[in-house]
Amino acid sequence: MREPLFKFCGVMLALVLLVGLKSQVMPAADAAKKVVAEQPAKAAEPDAKLKPLNPEGTVLLDLEGKRLLLKTKVALREGQLELLCCLKQTKEHESILALDSKAYVVHTGLVALKAKTGKPARFEPKFEPPTGHQLKVYLSWVDDDGKAHRVAAQTWVRHNTHRWFAQKLEKLPAGLVIPDQSNLRYDTKHKELSWYGPMTEAQKAEFQKLNADKPYQAAIAAFHEQSQNHEMEAQWVFTGSGIYKDDDGKNHYLAEDGDLISVANFSTATIDVAIRSSAQNDEGLSFESWTERIPPKGTPVTIELMPVFEAEKTEKPAAKDQ
């Protein structure tokens, strides 16, 4: 029964490339709105309704449930991120999850669910954020105690706290002496006060005691607020990657290099966040893994990709874990 399904993947991909399904995409401005964790539908048990789309059985199509299931494993629990999920043996050093599959199979499955491709991020002549069909993304796993969990994928990703934060400050207040061993710095050339990493309440109080100057006090308060844990709010969209034709005239799906579900803008990604998110290490990556929320490395995790259609965009009460 599997052989026809694998042929179906190839046929569907060919159709996608020929007709360039670009309609009904989600505007970036809408996708960047604050995430409202919806009450997830209960995950169906594996059965005959789940159709494997690849020989590995790691990409399963649920037409009745209008979702695509990806059988992945945890690859990274701590560190800065480029991806939520990469392809196996590609970018596990910057991706929470890894999938043993070809990327085009995931693309094909989403098209079978009537999701429409958009456009990957563009950087020249000016930045244009990714667009495409909005996708709900859920993560399901079973912990060591046998308890099943199901959460919105955004809950595993937070804004990067291990970086420099800067605030404009025309000059240091008179009499202020910055402790030599602290992470607080003042740049006289750029007239900026900067701080590295998360700032605790105790550190905030300690620095604010040093001087009562209002701009300085406001800068310290801003460092504290910005450096706390903030869950990623962006939505994912089905950008659709792209095609490269080699010198022999053969087409290659660009996401096969590993960029499956991105949290940093890649023009090659199949799925990307619909906001500006740096993919350059020298600029500082925008997101990092929320280590405390991620199960141990190697844990099997099922990703659910669910295209959002107009009738489903009504917000519902939040539910972060099932």
Quote the pLDDT of residue 37. 47
Quote the pLDDT of residue 64. 94
Higher pLDDT, 186 or 29: 186
In whole angstroms, what is the distance from residue 153 CA to residue 93 CA? 19
Quote the pLDDT of residue 291. 96
Stated pTM of the model: 0.78
For the cut 90, the answer to whether the pLDDT of residue 74 exceeds it is: yes
Quote the pLDDT of residue 278. 56
DSSP state string for 28-77? HHHHTSPP----PPPPPPS-TTSEE-STTS-EEEETTTTEEEEEEEE--S
192 beta partners:
168, 187
pLDDT band at 35 (very low <50, low <70, confident <90, very high): very low
Quote the pLDDT of residue 183. 94
DSSP conformational letter for 131: B
The 10s digit of each residue's pLDDT in 106-153 is 999 999 999 999 998 887 888 888 999 999 999 999 999 999 999 999
Mean pLDDT to the nearest integer, 96-104: 98
The 10s digit of each residue's pLDDT in 16-26 is 443 343 334 44
pLDDT band at 311 (very low <50, low <70, confident <90, very high): low
In whole angstroms, what is the distance from residue 260 CA to residue 267 CA? 11
Residue boundaries of the structural domains of the chain: 2-160+231-303, 164-226
For the cut 60, the answer to whether the pLDDT of residue 258 exceeds it is: yes
